Amino acid sequence: MIYADNAATTKMSEAAINTMISVMNDNYGNPSSLYSFGQKAKEILEEARNEVATLIGTANPREIIFTSGGSEADNQAIMSAAALGRKNGKMHIISSAFEHHAVLHTLERLKKEGFEITLLDVHEDGLVRPEEVKEAIRDDTALVTVMFANNEIGTVQPIREIGAICREKNVLFHTDAVQAIGHLPINVSEDNIDMLSASAHKFHGPKGVGFLYARKGIKLTNIIEGGAQEKGRRAGTENVPGIAAMATALKEACASLNENAEILKKHRDRLISALNEIPHSALNGDADNRLPGNVNFCFEGIEGESLLLLLDDKGIQASSGSACTSGSLDPSHVLLAIGRVHDVAHGSLRLSIGEDVSDEEIEYIISSVKEVVEYLRGFSPVWRDLMAGKTPFIL
């Protein structure tokens, strides 16, 4: 099997698994218990917090709140900024059109509660323009939230510039960095970030654990009420094995970040140039400002779902931008946001490769995709009409 869906989730690293097992076996105490066995678990928790804080460029571990993952961190960051805004009569939030649903759906909820939401255009290249952020900021803007890197098309946003604008205008800035952390260099201080969301399972850690970075002084609203864990900011007995494993995974990912990026970029660019040879196809998102392991294409005249199933038969695990598989007929909001029309957006393929992929596997992916696209077009009525000139080609 060739696993090319690392944007959906990653395989846990051996070191992270070992950390998790050892904590589960030897340190299963409750960090809130006062006896020494509980306090040992507490120590593990705080070591992980220090580690994570250092790895994202802050000296203050109290700015790290452990959560159940990226979605919870996004919810907490946005709901907190909204609560602060409401208190100060600031009811306007700025975001982008192609955020993860954890952000977009939270914003929809706030809209129902009376907030005004501005979604910035991400243009054809999948990039937010910092000057457009600047123009959109108003006196009543409570928050700007723009993702670090997009989960479908991999485009990497000018986060530092956007952060600088927010600093200058005195507006809170949150970034969903779930796809970026452990894959791109991130430093919350240098990148002018007030709040950042992360999830362990996107960087070879376990599922169901993540964290929110919130700069000192930002009052957080609880999403989960209960005990006084996480300094009263997130109730519930801490997932100590998961948190410890997350710290191990992040440390490992950051230590080999440049090396991994080099390897991935080489494979990525080979995939891009080879798949570009397929007639009536197009890369989605900017070719350079993108995650080292992300390739996302549209192929005219086919359905992404059929493409995925046939690739699966060939042992290749990939993903499509289309949400048809999840019961919706709408194509990906991300592909629509970069201006792909419905028919084209339906024929998309995302390959998110891992560091351990070989040259041979990349060549096998290329020949398989070419073969499957040609095969599907062979009996596609849409393709027949395109070829007959009944409908014009878009790509």
Ligand X SMILES: *Cc1c(COP(=O)(O)O)cnc(C)c1O
The structure tokens listed for 220 are 């957080």
| Binds ligand X by CB under 6 A, chosen from 102, 188, 275, 349 | 102
Determine, following the binding rule CB under 6 A, whether residue 293 of this chain makes contact with ligand X. Answer: no
The least CB distance from residue 152 to ligand X, in Å, is: 9
**Dihedral sign from CA coordinates of 224, 227, 231, 235:** negative
| Binds ligand X by CB under 6 A, chosen from 92, 100, 204, 251 | 100
Compare residues 202 and 233 and give the one whose CB is closer to ligand X: 202
Using alpha carbons, list the distances in angstroms from residue 16 to 204, 205, 364. Answer: 8, 6, 30
- Under 8 Å between Cβ of 175 and 159: yes
- The residue with tokens 């929809």 is 108
Q: Which of the stretches 63-71, 122-130, 134-142, 305-313 binds ligand X when contact is defined by CB under 6 A?
A: 63-71
Note if 166 is an active site residue.
no
Q: Which of the stretches 30-38, 64-72, 109-117, 304-312 binds ligand X when contact is defined by CB under 6 A?
A: 64-72
Largest CA distance in the chain: 78
One-letter amino acid at 293 equals G
The least CB distance from residue 344 to ligand X, in Å, is: 23
Neighbours of 36 (CB within 10 A): 10
Neighbours of 82 (CB within 10 A): 23
- Helix (H/G/I), strand (E/B), else coil: 283: strand
- State the catalytic residue, choosing from 166, 254, 298, 324: 324
| Binds ligand X by CB under 6 A, chosen from 127, 147, 253, 271 | 147
The least CB distance from residue 150 to ligand X, in Å, is: 7
Q: Which of the stretches 67-75, 229-237, 287-295, 304-312 binds ligand X when contact is defined by CB under 6 A?
A: 67-75
CA distance 17 to 22: 9
The least CB distance from residue 69 to ligand X, in Å, is: 3
Draw the binding track, 194-233, toward ligand X (x: CB under 6 A; -: no contact): -----x--x-------x-----------------------
Draw the binding track, 159-188, toward ligand X (x: CB under 6 A; -: no contact): -----------------x-xx---------
Compare residues 199 and 368 and give the one whose CB is closer to ligand X: 199
Q: Tell me which long-range contacts 368-371 makes (C-beta under 8 A, separation of at least 24).
A: 368/311, 368/314, 368/316, 369/275, 369/278, 369/307, 369/311, 370/274, 370/275, 370/277, 370/278
The least CB distance from residue 67 to ligand X, in Å, is: 8
The least CB distance from residue 54 to ligand X, in Å, is: 22
CA distance 188 to 64: 12
Residues 6 or more apart whose Cβ sits within 8 Å of residue 250: 51, 52, 55, 181, 182, 200, 203, 205
Q: Which residues bind ligand X (CB under 6 A)?
A: 69-71, 74, 100, 102, 147, 151, 176, 178-179, 199, 202, 210
Task: Just list the catalytic residues.
Answer: 324
